[in-house]
Amino acid sequence: MKLSTQVRPISYLKSHATEIIKNLSESREPMLITQNGEAKLVVMDVRSYEEHEETLAILKVLALGSREIEQGRFRPVDEVFADLGCTTSLRTTLSI
């Protein structure tokens, strides 16, 4: 995602809102809005925003899991499955 291709001043946002909504929905490319020559905000379609948030949530879970592993806070998978009452055949099916 290159914001440099979609840089517009705030006056453009004000005068072309309908066109911007249509274009962002179709292209799914975010737009950078400037005010007095400075970057002030990024505008994106809702679907892209939701996907971005989901991606960040997954990355956060992975980072937290990685930190717990580094701190030795984990249990062998066989123990976990045993606690859950999983059978050996289920573990084999899951290739664990």
Per-residue tens of pLDDT for the chain, all 96 residues: 676 778 999 999 999 999 999 999 999 999 999 999 999 999 999 999 999 999 999 999 999 999 999 999 988 888 888 888 876 655 566 665
Structural domain boundaries enclosing 32 = 1-44
Q: Does 59 lie in the same domain as 37?
A: no
Residue 16: both structure tokens together: 């072309």
Strand order in the sheet with 38-43: 7-9, 31-35, 38-43
Per the structure, the count of domains in the chain is 2
Task: Specify the CATH number for the domain of residue 5.
Answer: 3.40.1620
Distance between CA atoms of residues 22 and 25, nearest Å: 5
Q: Does 10 lie in the same domain as 50?
A: no
Global pTM value: 0.69
